[in-house]
Amino acid sequence: MAGSAPSTRNWKATEMTDLIGRNGRLTVTGEVSIHGVLTTVKLVPHTPQGINPAIFLLDLKVTRKSGIDSHIVRWVDLSYQRKSSGSSYKEVDILFDGTIVKRIKVSHPRTLAARSKGKPAKKKSRKKAA
């Protein structure tokens, strides 16, 4: 659908592994404002991906079915998931008609397997009362 990019909000990108440090997954979520009930949106991988492998590119595809449509404006939740190493990406770019409409920093929450390797804090010993 040609024209200006739809309004978007609340974008988040998270990349993490399962509890044992394998099977990584990149998850991107956000909301898009669309007009009418015959309009749909989805996120699809951009082809080709860019020259920086640390930035994942997604296209925001807006399609409209033919027919009489309403003038209702609504926010639609979007989500995209793909397998990853758990630390492949630093940013995700959302593109509409080839133009970046949102750049999202990827968060990498810690899992149990990724705990710090520092020494545990020492406990203070209590003095025994005489």
Average per-residue pLDDT in the chain? 83
Which tokens hold the place of 55?
A: 């930035």
Mean pLDDT of 90-100: 93
Q: Is residue 117 part of a domain?
A: no
The span from the CA of 26 to the CA of 119, in Å, is: 31
Q: Is residue 92 part of a domain?
A: yes
Number of Cβ atoms within 10 Å of the Cβ of 130:
3
- Per-residue pLDDT at 13: 94
- Per-residue pLDDT at 118: 54
User: Cα 55–52–109 angle (5° rounding)?
Assistant: 35
Helices (H) and strands (E) in the chain, counts: 0, 7
Q: Is residue 116 part of a domain?
A: no
pLDDT digits (tens, 9 = 90+) for 45-68: 999 998 999 999 999 999 888 877
Owning domain of residue 58: 8-108
The number of folded domains in the chain is: 1
Q: Is residue 29 part of a domain?
A: yes
- Per-residue pLDDT at 71: 81
Instruction: Kindly report the pTM of this predicted structure.
Output: 0.76
- How much of the chain, in percent, has pLDDT values that exceed 90? 48
Residue 35: beta bridge partners? 73
Q: Is residue 35 part of a domain?
A: yes
- Per-residue pLDDT at 110: 72
Q: Is residue 120 part of a domain?
A: no
Higher-pLDDT residue of 100, 69? 100
pLDDT digits (tens, 9 = 90+) for 112-123: 444 445 555 566
